[in-house]
Copies of this chain bind each other. A is one copy, B any other.
Amino acid sequence: MNALDLWIQETHQNAVALRFKVEKTLFSAKSPFQQVDVVQTAAHGGMLLNDGIIMVSERDEYIYHEMIAHVPVSVHPSPKRVLVIGGGDGGTVRELVKHRQVERIVMVEIDEMVINACRQHLPSISCALDDPRVELIIDDGVKYVASTGESFDIVLIDSTDPIGPAAPLFDRQFYENVAGLLSEQGIMISQAESPFYDFKIQSAMLENQRPFFKRLHLYTFTNLTYPGGLWSFGFGSKALCPLMDFDPDRMSAESVHTRYYSPDIHIASFMLPKFVKDNLSGVLDPLPPVSQLKTP
C-alpha cells in the first residue's frame, strides 16, 4: 500500500518551478481576496500559500522575518513605533517583539483569513500576535497609510508579489504616503523580489520609492522557498545610513536570539552581487567602504 505521492508546485514564468512534497492539507478556503491554503510538507514543515503562491514555510521563514525586522531596528536609534503592512502570518511581529525598545506595533493586514489560518496552523510563526504592544487592524494597507494621522519610526512592507491584493503596495503614491508617516529618522523596508528573476519589478519598485527618500539601498537574503535563491529588501530612509548608523551591539544588548541575522550578516547583506550593483547604480545610494564600519 503506497501513500499518495502529493506535491505542490510553484511555477515561475512557465520555465522554472519549485516543488515540495506534501503530507496533508491543514487548511483550504477562499477569502474575499484570495485562495488561502496551509499544507504540511515533508521537509519544510507547515507552509502557507496564497493563490497557490508560497508565502512562508516553517523551515526557512526565520530568514525572511529576521532580515525584515532586525536590520531597521538595529539602525534606528530609537525604534519605538513600527507599522507592518501585510505580514498576516505574524513572523515579522514575532521578531519585532523581541526588542524591548519597540513600544507599539500596528499591523495592517487586508485578509483576516490569513491571520486566522496561521494562528491555528502555524503557531510557531504567529505566536506573538497577541503581544500587548501589537494592534491588529484588518484593513487595506493602502487606505490605511493614506488616512492615518499616526507617525512611525519604522514601516515594514511585508507584502507578496505585485499581483492580486498586494499590487498597489508597489505604487509611487503608496510610497509617498508611507514616507509621509515616517518620523524624522524614519526607515521603510519593502519586500523587493529576486534580483535574478524579477529585476524589472525590483527596479520599477525602487524607481517609485526614490523621490521620497534621502537614502535608498537594497539588501539581500537567501531563501529556500521562493524561486530565484537570492531575495531582497529595499531600505529607504529619511536620514540614516544602514551601515554607518548601524549599531552592531543592539542585538546582544537586548539579548535578541536569531538563527540567521547577525551583525556580520547585516553588513554582508548590503554588499550586492556585481551585476545587481551595476544594474541599480542609477537608483541606489553609494555605501561607505567596510573599513570605516563599527563592528561588535
Contact A196 B291 (CB under 8 A): no
Stretch among A13-21, A87-95, A125-133, A168-176 lining the B interface: A13-21
Contact B290 A296 (CB under 8 A): no
Stretch among A141-149, A156-164, A207-215, A257-265 lining the B interface: A257-265
CB nearest to A275 among chain B residues: B259
Contact B267 A271 (CB under 8 A): yes
Copies of this chain assembled into the complex:
2
Q: A19 vs B16: C-alpha distance in the bound complex, in angstroms?
A: 6
Which residues of chain B have C-beta atoms less than 8 A from A7's C-beta?
17
Which residues of chain B have C-beta atoms less than 8 A from A273's C-beta?
63, 222, 259-260, 262, 265
Contact B20 A18 (CB under 8 A): no
Which residues in A have some Cβ–Cβ distance to B below 8 Å? 7, 9, 11, 13-21, 41-44, 60, 63, 196, 220, 222-224, 228-230, 258-262, 264-265, 267-269, 271-275, 277, 289-296
**Given A15-B44, A291-B293, 12 other A-B residues pairs in contact with their CB atoms under 8 A:** A11-B19, A15-B20, A15-B41, A16-B18, A16-B20, A16-B224, A17-B20, A222-B222, A222-B273, A258-B274, A259-B273, A265-B271
